[in-house]
Amino acid sequence: MGIVTPFPGGARPSQVGFERLELNRILDLYGRMVAAGHWRDYAIDLGRDAAVFSAFRRTAERPEFRIEKRPALRQRQGMWALVGEAGQVVRRGHELGPVLAPVERRLMKLVEE
């Protein structure tokens, strides 16, 4: 009864996900952008290599911004990336706060108008 037998075929690759504090920070920004009337929908994609949070102006469009977490890049460029609508990397870094700064600046401009 106490014997654990592994599944044949090897171990399944792990899935990359957001930690609670990271997701809280991202969803807080998303909520503020929704309140400003700029974003209306989001999607979360959890894969083997990356976890991606996509924010949409409208559901049928491409995401305006994607926040990507790629742990494989932790020691190089940083595991966080902010990717724009056309696929260009807007900001990359080791911490989430500075990576989200361009979107938060845009939020300040939206509130001022």
Is 27 exposed, middle or buried, given 0-12, 13-18 or 19+ CB atoms closer than 10 A? middle
Q: Is the pLDDT of residue 105 over 90?
A: no
Would you place residue 66 in the very low, low, confident or very high pLDDT band (cuts 50, 70, 90)?
very high
Q: Is the pLDDT of residue 16 over 80?
A: yes
The answer to whether 51 and 45 are in contact (CB under 8 A) is yes
How high is the pLDDT of residue 67? Answer: 93
What's the mean pLDDT in 66-82? 89
The answer to whether 24 and 30 are in contact (CB under 8 A) is no
pTM, 2 dp: 0.80
